[in-house]
Amino acid sequence: MAFWEEKTLEQMSPSEWEALCDGCGRCCLIKLEDEDSGVLITSDVRCKLLDGDSCACTDYPNRKKIVPDCIKLSPDNVREIPWIPTTCAYRRIAEGKGLAWWHPLVSGDPQTVIDVGVSVSGRTVLETEVDPDEWEEHAVDWPEWEPPESL
């Protein structure tokens, strides 16, 4: 039995926790909050540390120093953060859904995240290249898209 099927998020080792990340990059997109309604809006503007092709953080060990408002996901906060995508492995495990078929730990291939359209690879702009006053113009709904359970 795979570790994610027999352990809760709280029981996972640090390496198991990190392995759960599918590398989609959705959590590293800039989110905007409508001041009137409180509705969260996701943009296609990515964190300055997110590589737009590989969807890997370019300085993961130091990300909190460089981007102080970077939120480190943990078993303590993953159930409380409203913008975590429904495709996120941490959210899926917390909700008792298990990993999706396209997750690299299931498929054996990190390319499946890109192939099914979950990854933000090639679909974002770097935050340092967009004036913050223009972020709202970059609102997108595709980060909420979820692929079918099978293809």
Q: pTM score, two decimals?
A: 0.89
- By DSSP bridging, strand 40-46 and strand 29-33 are antiparallel
pLDDT, averaged across the chain = 92
Q: pLDDT per residue over 56-87, tens digit each?
A: 999 999 999 999 999 999 998 999 998 899 99
Torsion over CA: 15, 20, 23, 26 (sign): negative
Dump the DSSP string for 45-84: EEPTTB-TTT--BTTGGGHHHHSTTPPPP-TTTTTT-TTS
Per-residue confidence (pLDDT) for residue 150, from 0 to 100: 61
Number of C-alpha atoms within 13 angstroms, CB side, residue 115? 11
Q: pLDDT per residue over 101-123, tens digit each?
A: 999 999 999 999 999 999 999 99
Per-residue confidence (pLDDT) for residue 75, from 0 to 100: 92
